[in-house]
Amino acid sequence: MPENQVDNFIYLLKGTLCTFQEILINLNNFKMERRKFITVIGATALAAPVISSIASCGPGNETFEGHNFPDLPYDFNSLEPYIDARTMELHYSKHHKGYFDKFIAAVENTELIGTPMEQIFAGIRKHTDAVRNNGGGYYNHALYWENMTPVRMEVPSDLKKAVEKDFGTFDDFRKQFSSAAKTIFGSGWAWLAINDNGKLFVTTTPNQDNPLMDISPDKGVPLLTIDVWEHAYYLKYQNRRGEYVDNFWNIINWETVNKRLEKTLK
Ligand code: MN3
């Protein structure tokens, strides 16, 4: 029989679809949750998310007081031929997961573990480089996966109108966004965002920064983003970043972009 509650927990989970090894890996990833679980075992409010997180056993669904490693909303090969499956697999499972794990390690045992990302970014100048870089990497990639789709979409009319109001024509916006993405020096992100006055604008950020950060010269709420770090495209496109950026327009999830806009206008 199991000797303590953790062993008992593992023992009970042995019957799930996960292998025993996967459970151990997941438990290791959930060090903080496990401590809480032991402390409050029986308190279903906290135990339920832990159980559901561990029981899922795949990438995604890892939850730390509001910070979760999101599921990829489609398969690795779904964005082909524009983004290849191997790039997607490495980008999501290694790069994005790495940022998430390092972010959790940086905020574990601090008040930031329970703080929404937007709030952390609003005061990012007070925090460490580990929080800034890994928190940005965790958050930005989640937006990026969400704003892509294998299904070709039309731009919803409300979004189109909003873009035309601030950029003249949709094509002008497209040129500005593409040009920004193509000309970032080194690694970074291009954004369509909306500022406090409700004006849409295109901007870029270096490294893993984003427009929500207080150190960003152009502050706003992100609506659309493209990752132009080489790891996002190099396997397929090598040095041809421009081709990757041009192809990005085939896989933009305009419904998601429109929903983000609606949310900011509420
Ligand atoms: Mn990336």
> What pLDDT, in 10s, does the model give residues 61-74?
677 888 999 999 99
Report the separation in Å between the CA atom of 13 and the middle of ligand 1, taken as the mean of its atom positions: 33
Report the separation in Å between the CA atom of 35 and the middle of ligand 1, taken as the mean of its atom positions: 31
Report the separation in Å between the CA atom of 140 and the middle of ligand 1, taken as the mean of its atom positions: 8
Per-residue pLDDT at 62: 78
In angstroms, what CA-CA distances link 243 with 178, 215, 233, 235, 236?
Answer: 10, 30, 9, 13, 10
pLDDT band at 44 (very low <50, low <70, confident <90, very high): very low
Report the separation in Å between the CA atom of 68 and the middle of ligand 1, taken as the mean of its atom positions: 17
Mean pLDDT of 170-184: 98
User: Does the pLDDT value for residue 229 go beyond 70?
Assistant: yes
Report the separation in Å between the CA atom of 187 and the middle of ligand 1, taken as the mean of its atom positions: 9
Report the separation in Å between the CA atom of 31 and the middle of ligand 1, taken as the mean of its atom positions: 26
Cβ count within 10 A of residue 241: 18
CA angle 55, 61, 64 (to 5 degrees): 105
Report the separation in Å between the CA atom of 227 and the middle of ligand 1, taken as the mean of its atom positions: 6
Report the separation in Å between the CA atom of 258 and the middle of ligand 1, taken as the mean of its atom positions: 23
User: Does the pLDDT value for residue 55 go beyond 50?
Assistant: no
Average the pLDDT over each of 15-24, 70-79, 191-200, 227-236 and give the range with the smallest value. 15-24
Report the separation in Å between the CA atom of 148 and the middle of ligand 1, taken as the mean of its atom positions: 14
Per-residue pLDDT at 57: 41
| Mean pLDDT score of the chain | 84
pLDDT band at 59 (very low <50, low <70, confident <90, very high): low
Mean pLDDT of 241-253: 98
The residues placing their C-beta within 5 Å of ligand 1, an ion, are: 227, 229
Report the separation in Å between the CA atom of 202 and the middle of ligand 1, taken as the mean of its atom positions: 19
Report the separation in Å between the CA atom of 236 and the middle of ligand 1, taken as the mean of its atom positions: 15
Mean pLDDT of 198-211: 98
